[in-house]
């Protein structure tokens, strides 16, 4: 089903009480007519607050109720998987049937009853899943991880054509269930090295059939996933994507290919594109990437703003940029530039869940995102603490408490290691 849209992505007119100097507070009408109450969004972070049988829990309801109460306009859930056989982590929520509809409805209402939009991020990990969690991992091609990660991630098997069609149908089915549950939209996770990203990358996708071998063929999977979702949810239900600007990996997905993919998705009628970058093997949200970008992004804050400007010159689809934003003025300045329509925040909301209330009034959060290290060089080189440390903070908020912004990276790593080991064991036992 084609749902092509025009360049009608201008914000709704605002009451005079909302100053133009604070574009964060302005509403945004999406191409399909849905309205976001402001330009501030919570980007996806993996919560791992599902059960080890992969069901949603009341903790997710509490977590998103807390964030929604801050006044934020849009939130994306963490990784929600479309297939219980393909998990990214222990504790992932899986939506593949309607068995959890009551708790999913509670989760959706935790945000929507307070005026916030909540979109479910739908994902398939492909090869990017810890060794031993799944019976086997698949990818477009059987390309192993780099040598220092081989102990953590097994070499995947090549996905079959029949399996590709099954995965596409599962994306659509999961999206339809999300709509029935009352969520505000869905987002395809096409970034950070997961399956959709793997199909797009010439490094991970070395197939010679219709699903690989050329940029057009590598795009075929994501376009088919989008088309299937749109067929199952209709034209009025928002569908977005999180997409890498580049993989930052030799022989990987380039800016030029990303631009071509964005153009194709915009033509097909996608409602929102979130720009990000990197993979597990080449993380782009912290560590070395952050240090390398400091000189050029200190003033403008956002990591991917220059790429967003290039995209904006080509397409009118609403754009969201996540990564690097620190101050209310930096966020408002980026919006005033016209390069993006929505400011995405992630890690700040894990250490200050009430930050949006201040930012929407033009005030900065008193907290700052900092590099998280353990002092264990092999662990720190992997960059995994940029996920594990923050996941622990989410658990505290979900339990009705407050995060610990000064928690030791080493302490967090040891807690996470024990939790992950137990989670892998319990997940495998439940499948036995």
C-alpha dihedral, 135 to 140 to 143 to 149, nearest 10°: -60
Please give the structure tokens belonging to residue 181.
């549950």
The two three-digit tokens of residue 262, written as one number: 């964005």
Q: How many residues does the chain have?
A: 432
In this structure, what token pair is assigned to residue 127?
A: 């090869």
pLDDT of residue 18: 46
16 burial level (CB within 10 Å; 0-12, 13-18, 19+): exposed
pLDDT tens across the length of the chain (432 residues): 444 443 333 433 333 344 457 999 999 999 999 999 999 999 999 999 999 999 999 999 999 999 999 999 999 999 999 999 999 999 999 999 999 999 999 999 999 999 999 999 999 999 999 999 999 999 999 999 888 777 788 999 999 999 999 999 999 999 999 999 999 999 999 998 899 999 999 999 999 999 999 999 999 999 999 999 999 999 999 999 999 886 554 556 788 999 999 999 999 999 999 998 655 554 444 443 444 444 444 456 778 899 999 999 999 999 999 989 999 999 999 999 999 999 999 999 999 999 999 999 999 999 999 889 989 988 888 778 888 899 999 999 999 999 999 999 898 888 878 877 766 667 766 766
CATH number 3.30.750.24 is the correct assignment for the domain at 23-431: no
Q: Report the distance separating Cα 235 and Cα 29, nearest Å.
A: 15
Alpha helices in 8-57 (DSSP H): none
Span 299-331, pLDDT tens digits: 567 788 999 999 999 999 999 999 899 999 999
- Count of CA atoms in the C-beta half-sphere (13 A) of 343: 34
**What does the domain layout of the chain look like in residue ranges?**
23-431
Look at residues 286, 284, 199 and name the one whose alpha carbon lies nearest to residue 241.
199
């Amino acid at each position: 089903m084609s749902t092509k849209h025009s360049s009608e992505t201008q914000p709704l007119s605002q009451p005079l009480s909302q100053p133009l100097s604070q574009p964060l507070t302005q509403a945004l009408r999406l191409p399909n007519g849905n309205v976001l109450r402001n330009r501030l969004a919570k980007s996806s972070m993996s919560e791992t607050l599902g059960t080890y049988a992969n069901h949603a829990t009341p903790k997710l309801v509490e977590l998103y109720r807390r964030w929604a109460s801050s006044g934020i306009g849009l939130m994306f859930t963490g990784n929600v998987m479309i297939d219980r056989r393909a998990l990214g982590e222990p504790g992932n929520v899986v939506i593949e049937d309607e068995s959890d509809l009551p708790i999913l409805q509670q989760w959706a209402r935790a945000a929507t009853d307070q005026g916030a939009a909540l979109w479910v991020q739908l994902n398939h990990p492909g090869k990017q899943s810890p060794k031993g969690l799944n019976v086997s991992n698949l990818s477009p091609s059987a390309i192993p991880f780099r040598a220092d990660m081989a102990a953590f991630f097994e070499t995947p098997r090549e996905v079959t054509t029949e399996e590709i069609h099954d995965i596409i149908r599962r994306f659509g089915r999961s999206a339809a269930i999300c709509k029935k549950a009352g969520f505000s939209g869905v987002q395809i996770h096409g970034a950070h090295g997961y399956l959709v990203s793997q199909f797009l990358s010439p490094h991970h996708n070395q197939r010679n059939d219709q699903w690989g071998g050329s940029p057009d063929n590598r795009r075929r999977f994501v376009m088919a996933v989008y088309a299937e979702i749109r067929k199952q949810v209709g034209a009025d239900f928002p569908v977005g994507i999180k997409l890498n600007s580049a993989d930052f990996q030799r022989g990987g997905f380039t800016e030029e290919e990303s631009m071509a993919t964005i153009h194709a998705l915009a033509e097909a009628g996608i409602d929102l594109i979130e720009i990000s970058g990197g993979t597990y093997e080449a993380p782009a949200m912290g560590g070395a990437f952050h240090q390398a970008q400091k000189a050029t992004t200190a003033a403008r804050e956002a990591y991917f703003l220059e790429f967003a400007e290039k995209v904006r010159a080509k397409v009118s689809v609403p754009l969201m940029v996540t990564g690097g934003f620190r101050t209310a003025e930096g966020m408002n300045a980026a919006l005033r530039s016209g390069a993006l329509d929505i400011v995405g925040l992630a890690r700040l909301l894990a250490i200050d869940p009430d930050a949006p209330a201040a930012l929407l009034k033009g005030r900065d959060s008193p907290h700052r995102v900092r590099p998280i290290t353990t002092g264990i060089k092999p662990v720190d080189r992997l960059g995994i603490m940029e996920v594990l440390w923050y996941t622990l903070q989410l658990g505290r908020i979900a339990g009705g408490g407050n995060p610990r912004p000064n928690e030791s990276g080493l302490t967090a790593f040891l807690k996470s290691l024990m939790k992950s080991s137990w989670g892998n064991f319990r997940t495998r036992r439940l499948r036995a």
